[in-house]
Amino acid sequence: MGDAAASGGYWISAYADHIFASPTTLTGSIGVVGGKFAIEDLSKKLGVNWEKISWGKNAGIWSINTPFNASETERMNAMLDQIYDSFIERVAKGRKMEPEAVDKIAGGRVWTGKRALEIGLVDELGSLSDAQDYVARMLGGQDRRDIDIEIFPKPKTAIEQLMELLGGQVAMGPEPDWASKAKILLQPYLQAVDMGQNPQNYLTYEPLRLE
């Protein structure tokens, strides 16, 4: 886990066989929060009137025109409780802990990686390189140099970064002549690079004809 793996980040991490974190990784935040924006008061100030037609007691639960009524609040709280219970169960199963023990360190609280190690949310303190070395040893190697690692998303080449920088000039103001000329000159090279990395985008398919 990098700088942060809280809430959704920890939801994903919880099922891992072995979790690495740095000492300062924001970890945990095992909890859920929900709500909506309500513009009823704003509409009144602006002189805007809303009419609605609905079927069912909670049909307008997600409408921004009005806040939650008592019935909608009850339904919303029930949904949040269900998600929270699922989160607790997920962490308990992934970390091989009792749900009651997880609940004591949950409640949306955030821990540092160092503290998370002490309470059982991570297995080891270390960097991405340490995690890669661990995987390599599991596969019978010595360290990360013995395995093939593919990075997603693929890192951009220097030419692609330059073109992206030139493209950003449009948002900043009129594009200078030199930038336009550079784009024209580099376009064939960029296409060649893209063809090498994504050949499937340039393949031409023809129907097979048997004679």
Q: Backbone phi, then psi, for 125, in 5-degree steps?
A: -90, 130
| Structure-block tokens of residue 9 | 């980040």
CA distance 131 to 17: 12
Residue 206: the pLDDT is 55
Q: How far is residue 173 CA from its own chain's centroid?
A: 32
Residue ranges of domains in the chain: 4-146, 158-202
Please write the tens of the pLDDT for every residue from 149-177.
Answer: 888 888 777 767 776 776 655 455 555 56
CA distance 68 to 98: 35
Q: Backbone phi, then psi, for 26, in 5-degree steps?
A: -75, 115
Residues of the chain with confidence (pLDDT) below 50: 170
* Helix (H/G/I), strand (E/B), else coil: 153: coil
CATH number of 4-146: 3.90.226
Token pair 């099922």 in the structure block, residue: 15
Residue 27 β-bridge partners? 5, 111
